[in-house]
Amino acid sequence: MPAFSDPSDDGACVQWPLPQEWPLLSRKPRLGVMASGAGSNFQALVESCAGGWASIDLLVVNNGGCGAQQRALELGMANQVVDHRLHSNRESVDRALIDAFKAAAVDLVVMAGWMRIVTPVLIGAFPERIINIHPSLLPSFRGVDAVGQALAAGVTLSGCTAHLVSEEVDAGKILVQAAVPVDTGDDRASLTARIQSQEHRILPLAVALAAQRLGY
């Protein structure tokens, strides 16, 4: 089973629901993952799923050659490009995503750094089954450049949120949050790095909790 270390060991104050027992699932969910960039959250999911509680059956990227796709290729994992630039609107992108994920028979979809807005077309195809990771303590700092927004606001505590995706951006049901103190002298890069290390811990747990809610 995946395990979490003591959250106090790296300066993060994890709020809810860690530490806890890993959710017991009666069925192994098939995951589809969406990513746009470096793929560190995809990597964290890969490592967690190596414990056997879920399988990653398809990675879809919108930027061919991005770090996430390179990682999938290195690992010999199924991957596909859905390039938004080849579609005339967001709904068309979402229909291509649905086709890809349905063909791979995935149960849940994980937006692991997908830098595009999705529409009700995708959300309706996977109700309560899409999980997103966002680098702030929602509902604060929704949308783009959440870390920059937090620094500009002068907060002393930031963090990350794994939540279900709803039609309103960054506003769906919160599954797991981790709090990260903002240090004096933090800039975007340093705070982002510390927040991301917490994202890698909470995203797999949030996916397992989302699966548990669905009866897996």
Q: Which residues bind ligand GRF (CB under 6 A)?
A: 35, 37-41, 68, 112-113, 133-135, 196, 199
Nearest to 17 by CA among 174, 190, 194, 181: 174
**Would you say 163 or 216 has its CB closer to ligand GRF?**
163
**Would you say 134 or 201 has its CB closer to ligand GRF?**
134
Least distance (Å) from ligand GRF to the CB of residue 24?
A: 27
d(CA 165, CA 168) in angstroms, rounded, equals: 8
Active site residue 163: no
- Dihedral (C-alpha) 5, 174, 53, 24: value to the nearest 10 degrees? 90
**Would you say 134 or 194 has its CB closer to ligand GRF?**
134
6, 19 Cβ separation under 8 angstroms? yes
Q: Which residue is nearest to ligand GRF (CB)?
A: 113
Q: DSSP characters for 144-157?
A: S-HHHHHHHHT-SE
What lies within 8 Å, CB to CB, of 17 at 6+ separation is 176, 205, 209
**Would you say 27 or 143 has its CB closer to ligand GRF?**
143
From the candidates 84, 87, 134, 200, give the one annotated as an active-site residue. 134
Least distance (Å) from ligand GRF to the CB of residue 179?
A: 15
Least distance (Å) from ligand GRF to the CB of residue 111?
A: 7
**Which tokens belong to 161?**
């949120």
Q: Which residues are known catalytic residues?
A: 134
